[in-house]
A and B are shown apart, each in its own frame.
Chain A
Amino acid sequence: MTITASDPKLIGLYGSMALIRAFEEEAERQYKAARIGGYCHLSSGQEAATVGTVEALAEEDLLVTGYRCHGFALARGVPAEAVMAELYGRRDGCAHGRGGSMHLLDVSRGYYGGWGIVGGQLPIATGMALSLVRREAPQAVLCELGDGAVNMGAWHESLNLAAVWRLPVVFLVINNLYGMGTSVERASAEPDLFKRAGSYRMTGERVDGDDLEAVIEASSRLLEEARSERRPAVLEAVTYRYRGHSVADAGLAYRTREEIEEHRQVDPLERTRTLLRGHGVSAEEIEAADRDAAATVLRATEFAESNPAPDVDRLATGVYAPGSDAQFERMMPGSPFGERELVFGGGLGR
């Protein structure tokens, strides 16, 4: 896909990047104010890699990600209200307050999570691609992972299965240079991560993850090959995360302030603004996109703050499929606290 000056998509993509940046900044504020709990992994600095790859997805394609997923959910069009409400643990969060920051999803948009175990989503994405093949569906799966996931067994097993079965899946490695606090060089014997695809006779490519156009070009091409030729691939997008591993990590034990500042000088939002200006987009239009992003985040936060907590009496809803309660009816005698009061007392979906 080539973006031209007349392409109205470009300002929209910038708007999506601006939304992610503003959302993450607000999430950090609210986490520090203890309105958001658990872990909270921010993706500030990774917006071009996120928005560019999601842009390359067709509407029917599927998306699976790891836990640094706020940006992917927003880029895929999950309403910011539903994402922020999930971070707040509210009833109308996209996972109804069951998942939190790491387990966002929106099945209606082909987004199947938001997974919290490093590498665990890879076999699942592989199985989804297998299912697409079985149904002869002309779709592909984009499976996001971090640079830390490439040393897990699940990475090897998934790439091997995808290649041996010729599955339509693109493994997107968001290489932000650190798996938590361990640099790629300290963790990976082959730090050119994309080269590992060669072990599976699979296409492997590296792209500047902060170059929106380059990301869209590479991911569009690899996804199209996956769809039309059932050729799986690895795409390594090199980028940088400005914040720590999670909000709780200052991010300075393993890297210097100077290094972070260096990367901020080549900020993907600024690079995209330069691109826009080059295409003749006015400063006013860019400022309007920034204002829209801020307003969307404000609305999302207001929504989350006023949204009710999930119903405690329905604690166990969703654990088992509707209709399962009859199977559990005979389990009641002698059941311990929790099971008796909360699970059997209506939570199983009665």
Chain B
Amino acid sequence: MSATTTDPPVAAPAPAGTETMTYREALRLAMRQEMERDGRVFVMGEEVGLFDGSYKVTAGLLEDFGPDRVRDTPISEEGFLGAGVGAAMLGERPIVEVMTLNFVLVAMDQVINHAAKVGAMFGGEVRCPLVIRTPNGAGNQLTAQHSQSFDGWFAGTPGLKVVAPANPADAKGLLKAAIRDDDPVLVIENLPIYKEKGEVELDPELITPIGLAALAREGSDLTVVSHSFATVRALRVAEKLAAEHGVSLEVVDLRSLRPLDVETVAASVAKTNRAICVEEGWPTYGVTAELAARIQYACFDDLDAPVERVGMAEVPLPYAKELELAAMPTEGRIEAAILRQLELAP
């Protein structure tokens, strides 16, 4: 895989105020600020240095921080992700970039059996403050091996923390929080959002707390619970349905998957009495399955309808554009589920 887009480099950050930037630039700003703040922070991964990053997230960092702190690795995910675990155990703050979430699978032993176990298995005697950054996201005809969302696998693993920002402000805030956190944090980025723009606070001390969802849109008729690109889609659907049907959707953007902010979800469902959970992964045993279980338990008396889920069709993603689209949790599919639940459509 290779990048298709390049952004201009981020200008030297002003001490305060906000700036409009892409999600990719916000991630870069977070790394730049944290590397300036803390000498223990370094980045390593495939093509992060000379190549400027497979998706250009690390563009320019090599020039500013040198090859020790922006370390190119061979194609060797188990090796360099595990090296991140070891360095973190000695108190460093490694940021390991894995080219896509799909490639984390060849390093899964290091993530699940090692990074996630360090704190508990050794009785709290040593910690693993590792950050793993990696994008996922379907929709570019990348086909079966490059289009998968395994968010739920990681979020279901005690010992890991998992965040998945949906906009540039949270991309910066959550990555900074992850770097400062004393536990292994998986930061799930998203290919289609890399180029999305938004306002980002430049203050280097501002972080987005881990474990806190955001009310991305206030509404009263139905709650959509989502994360990452599904939140972008949900917000688009909310605008459309408000205009076309006068429907008032509330959108809860989870931001963190583990810890999971069920309080914000439950408070919203208690208000709207209806919930649709959306994810880009396969819903069976997925993030939405977990949400549905917790919502029915926490909001049993509040619900006017069963909790509904929208996710990827349960097939390995095919290549042909028509087939790929038919599998994805598109805005059309989210809209249809909402209208059905509100009894505005069959």
Contacts and interface: CB of A to CB of B under 8 A. Distances in A.
Contacts of A116: 113
B90 A128 contact: yes
B123 A99 contact: yes
B262 A123 contact: no
A128 B87 contact: yes
A320 B294 contact: no
A327 B121 CA distance: 21
B170 to A, nearest CB: 15
B262 A332 contact: yes
Contacts of A122: 82
Nearest to A327: B211
Interface stretch (A157-165, A213-221, A242-250): A157-165
Contacts of B91: 131
Interface residues on A, range: 35 or more
B293 interface: yes
B234 interface: no
Contacts of B158: 316, 319
Given A117-B113, A120-B113, A333-B266, A128 B124 contact: no
A339 B286 CA distance: 18
Interface residues on B, range: 35 or more
Interface string A141-166: 00000000000011001101100100
B159 A320 contact: yes
Contact of B84 (A103, A127, A134, A316): A127
A95 B124 CA distance: 8
Interface string A311-338: 0000011111111101111111111100
A129 B85 CA distance: 12
Contacts of A157: 76, 78-80, 82
A88 B79 CA distance: 34
Given A134-B42, A330-B261, A331-B262, A98 B82 contact: no
B336 interface: no
Contact of B259 (A105, A134, A327): A327
B4 to A, nearest CB: 29
A172 interface: no
A118 to B, nearest CB: 10
A123 B185 CA distance: 19
Contacts of B35: none
A209 interface: no
Contacts of A99: 121-123
B199 interface: no
Interface stretch (A68-76, A107-115, A299-307): A107-115
Contact of B181 (A95, A103, A321): A321
Contacts of A130: 83, 86-87
A134 B84 CA distance: 13
Given A124-B89, A330-B264, A334-B297, A164 B122 contact: no
Contacts of A316: 120, 158
Contacts of A327: 161, 209-211, 256, 259
Nearest to B123: A96
Interface of B: 42, 68, 73-74, 76, 78-92, 94, 109-110, 113-114, 119-127, 129, 158-159, 161, 181-183, 209-213, 256, 259-266, 293-299
23 contacts: A95-B122, A95-B125, A96-B123, A105-B126, A112-B126, A120-B109, A126-B82, A126-B83, A126-B86, A134-B42, A153-B78, A158-B82, A161-B76, A318-B119, A318-B124, A320-B159, A321-B183, A327-B161, A330-B212, A330-B259, A331-B260, A331-B262, A333-B262
